[in-house]
Structure 1
């Protein structure tokens, strides 16, 4: 499965899609990037006149790239339109502010993938290569089922 196929399977759309590119992916991890655009909805009112990216958005960027993209890759054909990967836990340390129009790069290393649960060590760096947040993220595969009535 290539990067574009993974991006096409992501269960998100704008304005809640936080993956621009996957530059590397294999069974052990993923590297991807996203640029935080100044007109994004979450900057309006978040530190008036001096917008800063909320930590929950940085966590979501790391989860979409570092957990969901990797999970789709690992599941390959086992991930379909009725599948999703639900976040189960995070332990993130925020080290530096991220501002509008910054590009961030997320590196994720698989800690384990078993019984439908994926746990990863993630690190986000800014354009200068300085770590802005780091930690662990875990999630599990959910098979959505719709009953015919």
Structure 2
């Protein structure tokens, strides 16, 4: 399955799409990137005169690249129609080490811990353009093959 097919199958769209592209996707993990554009609406109020990307959006970026893209790849290998996949975020444990400012491009890597009974758990890491670790953690979610489940 191609990177473009995975990206087109993501259940997000702007302004809540935090994946610009993928550079690696295999059975063991994923790697992708996103640029937090300076004109993104949330920067207007977080924080006054000193905009910083909220940690919840850093977590979401890690989840979209490291968990959802990987999960769609794994389900596609099971011949599941990924256009009908439902996604539920079940847990996160993140540690934030550096801020991400408007205009910064980040790279997210994930390593599969396990994928059993359609539950995916991954170790994720986010790096800035200098290769410095921004945040890291463990994310888990459930993937279903029917949005009504």
Q: TM-score, normalised by structure 1?
A: 0.95
CA displacement at 1:56 relative to structure 2: 0.4
In the other structure, the counterpart of 2:92 is 90
| Cα displacement (A) at 1:2 | 1.1
Q: Moved runs in structure 1, 4+ residues, more than 2 A?
A: 79-82
Task: Please report how far the alpha carbon of residue 145 of structure 1 lies from its aligned counterpart in structure 2 after TM superposition.
Answer: 2.5
Helix, strand or coil: the match of 2:46?
A: coil
Q: 1:82, 1:145 within 8 Å by CA — same for their partners in 2?
A: no
Number of residue equivalences: 146
CA distance in 2, matches of 1:97, 1:112: 29
Which of 127, 130, 142 is 1:128 aligned to?
A: 130
- Report the alpha carbon displacement of residue 80 of structure 1 after superposing the two structures with TM: 2.9
Cα root mean square deviation, aligned: 1.1
Runs (5+) with no aligned partner, structure 2: none
Change (3 A) 1:79 1:71: farther
Q: Deviations over 1:14-37 (max 9, x none)?
A: 100000010011000000000000
Give the unaligned 5+ runs of structure 1.
none
Scaled by the length of structure 2, the TM-score of the pair is: 0.95
How far the C-alpha of 1:40 sits from its partner, in A, is 0.6
Indicate the larger mover: 7-16 or 76-85: 76-85
Structure 1 position 65, deviation (Å) = 0.1
